[in-house]
Amino acid sequence: MSFQAHIDNIKAKTGKPSVDFKQLAEIERLTEEGVKASEIVKG
């Protein structure tokens, strides 16, 4: 499955475009330098 197919699938299931998820990540400060994947997935 291509990357675009994953993006399309997420949009189909959530009704939100990838831009919304990027904005949410920025609000939650998940895009800052030094943030590790373990911090994101711990919930």
User: What are 8-36's pLDDT values in tens digits?
Assistant: 999 999 999 989 999 999 999 999 999 99
Nearest to 28 by CA among 9, 13, 11, 42: 42
Place of tokens 């998820």: 21
Q: Is the CB of residue 25 less than 8 Å from the CB of residue 32?
A: no
**Count of structural domains within the chain:** 1
Note the pLDDT of residue 10: 92
**Exposure pattern of 11-37 as b/e (b: 16+ CB <10 Å)?**
eeeeeeeeeeeeeeeeeeeeeeeeeee
Domain of 8?
A: 3-41
pLDDT of residue 4 exceeding 90, the answer is yes
